[in-house]
Amino acid sequence: MRVLFLGDIVGRSGRLAVLEHLPELKQRLAPDFIVINGENAAGGFGITEKICNELFDAGADVVTTGNHAWDQREIIEHIDREPRLIRPLNFPSETPGRGAGLFETKDGRLVLVINVMLRLFMDALDDPFAAVERVLEDSPLGAAADFILIDTHGEATSEKMAFGHCFDGRVSAVIGTHTHVPTADGMVLATGTAYQTDAGMCGDYDSVIGMKKETPVNRFVTKMPGPRLEAAEGEGTVCGALVVSDDRTGLALGIEPVRVGGVLSPAWPSI
């Protein structure tokens, strides 16, 4: 199976970049399934029903989120109605929405998508390791799902790496989000799980992690509060990864980065 994962969409720049480049990505990479992290899509803070629908109409099969999931309050009701929009699994049990879902490709194969938020330098949520263990007990790779993808939304590279090794051989891919910077460590781990610490953002990289430069620079220089951060509006880069799996086992055969548009050097998968 061929699964395309795109990192955090940040603001209008990121949305436009995804909508512009996704048709070519679909044509050239022929993905069977597309997952996009959309948690910063609405002006850099959260996501709306309208934006969700734009992404689904463009070809996304699932939209994941993270710590900004609830910034746009309208999404609280919508997330219960829309199973293709998922929030971190390890929010408290009474939180609206779902943290995982089993989805069918056009040819009938099953993809389990899990979204978790890690805990180092992040909000204190339930144990993400234990939460995923419970899901995998009920839905193991090769039995309940042909492909299992985990979006690890977290700050610390060490915690993301530990997560990948913990579930190596039991899921198809573990790909990180949240830091908005693509890492160069895409690899297949020892027992068959594709891994990348962070997919990077879909947004304007002439910025400070997707935000207009002046306010965050001033905050760091002066240590004083300033205006609310605003999403940068220049040409966006689409960043993510393509994972190819073995249909017999569900384990990864390869993972390669995707970078299209904007100021970053382009990267087109060859797998």
Active site residue 68: yes
**258 φ, ψ to 5°?**
-120, 125
**Residue written as token pair 């891994």:** 195
List the catalytic residue out of 68, 78, 153, 178: 68
Sorted by sequence, the CB contacts under 8 Å of residue 94 that are 6+ apart come out as none
Which positions are annotated as active-site residues? 68
